[in-house]
Amino acid sequence: MNETNHPNGADPATAETDAYVQIRGLHTVLNGKVIFDGIDLDIPRGKITAIMGPSGTGKTTLLRHITGQLDADAGAIRVDGRNVPDLSRNQLFDLRERIGYLFQNSALLTDFSVFENVAFPLRQHLRLPEEIVRNIVLTRLQAVGLRGAAELMPAELSGGMARRVALARAIIRDPGLMIYDEPFVGLDPIALNQVLKLIRTLNDTLGITSILVAHEFAAVRRAADHVYLIAGGKVAAQGHPDELAERDSPWTRQFFGGEADGPVPFQYPARDYAVDLGFPAGVA
């Protein structure tokens, strides 16, 4: 079923040395459900890699493994040459100082204004003059189109605006690795386009390595250099987005074509529908 070119999912073209994130033999079981069944993947340095897959397939869990928020049952997760499961809490925090993370639900600090949210990482880690902090924060807010909202509180923002503020906060320290967990959810077409451009610009100008978890294939196709499609605990397919879109396999056809029938079941495992409705089995 695996459509990858490599038996373990990792592309030999992305050699060990140029992978910013390298995952080998990742096994994860959560609440008795197998999330990852020995997957391997490489996130090439300086590229945008998209992780796609059906809901509940473990995309956010994978990001949590990469950032050391969640321990895996087995496997190696190397980020910038360091094996995350072996790191102490202090070493993990050192690593995270070089990672920007955009949370699915924005996770803004509700007691702080937009300005203070974006300034938070700077204030916590660097002793900078207030004028410089202000300029950096306003520059980032300008990039996401919210410089005018600097004094608003998170409760006054729409979901899309909150996401853009969270993006400004995530990139405030020019991270080496940028992780976007569903960055396009709740954005109107104008904001989506700008955020897409921003992700691409960060990658092109600063050489930031990016991991992008998203469901919007059209947006991913414009931004990503490489796509991993994860399903059933394994890497189901991988490659350049254009190549994947044209690949004639049940996985890509179903996922990118949005078909209900295919290797990924639309229905959560359940008893017979007819039996649940009170009819003899097989009637419905």
Partner 1 sequence: MNNARRPSMIGDALAQVGAAGLFLFAILAAIPKSLRHFRETLRQIWFVGAMSLVIIMTCGLFVGMVLSLQLYYTLAKFGGTAALGTVVALSLFRELGPVVTALLFAGRAGTSMTAEIGLMRATDQLSAMEMMAVDPLSYVVAPRFIAGIVAMPLLACIFNALGILGAHLVGVSWLGLDNGTFWGNMTANVDVWTDLVNGVWKSTAFGAVIALIATFQGYTTPPTSEGVAYATTRTVVSSSIVVLALDFVMTAFLM
Contacts with partner 1 by CB under 8 A lie at: 67, 69, 89, 93-94, 96-97, 99, 101, 103, 105, 107-110, 120-121, 124-125, 169
Residue 59 beta carbon to partner 1: minimum distance, rounded to whole angstroms: 16
Structural contact between residues 20 and 44, judged by C-beta atoms closer than 8 angstroms: yes
User: Which is nearer to partner 1, 4 or 61 (by Cβ)?
Assistant: 61
The CB-of-5 to partner 1 minimum distance in angstroms stands at 33
Rg (CA), the chain: 20
Give least dist CB 270 to partner 1, A.
23
Nearest to partner 1 of 93, 266 (CB atom): 93
Instruction: Let me know: does 72 contact 28? Beta carbons within 8 Å.
Output: yes
Rounded CA separation 214/139 (Å) = 26
Q: Which residues contact 225 (CB under 8 A, 6 or more apart)?
A: 44, 47, 48, 49, 240
Nearest distance, CB of residue 107 and partner 1, angstroms: 4
N residues, the chain: 284
Least distance (Å) between residue 74 CB and partner 1:
23
Cβ atoms of 245 and 256 within 8 Å: the answer is yes
Q: Token digits for 121?
A: 């990482």
Q: What's the CA gap between 158 and 145, in Å, rounded?
A: 14
In the complex, minimum distance from the CB of residue 95 to partner 1, in angstroms, rounded to a whole number: 8
Q: Which is nearer to partner 1, 157 or 227 (CB)?
A: 157
- The conformation of residue 261, written as its DSSP 8-state character, comes to S
Whether the CB-CB separation of 178 and 48 falls below 8 Å is answered with: no
Q: Which is nearer to partner 1, 26 or 122 (CB)?
A: 122
Contact between 235 and 9 under an 8 Å Cβ cutoff? The reply is yes
Q: Which is nearer to partner 1, 157 or 237 (CB)?
A: 157
Strand arrangement of the beta sheet that strand 48-52 belongs to:
99-102, 177-181, 209-213, 48-52, 226-231, 234-239
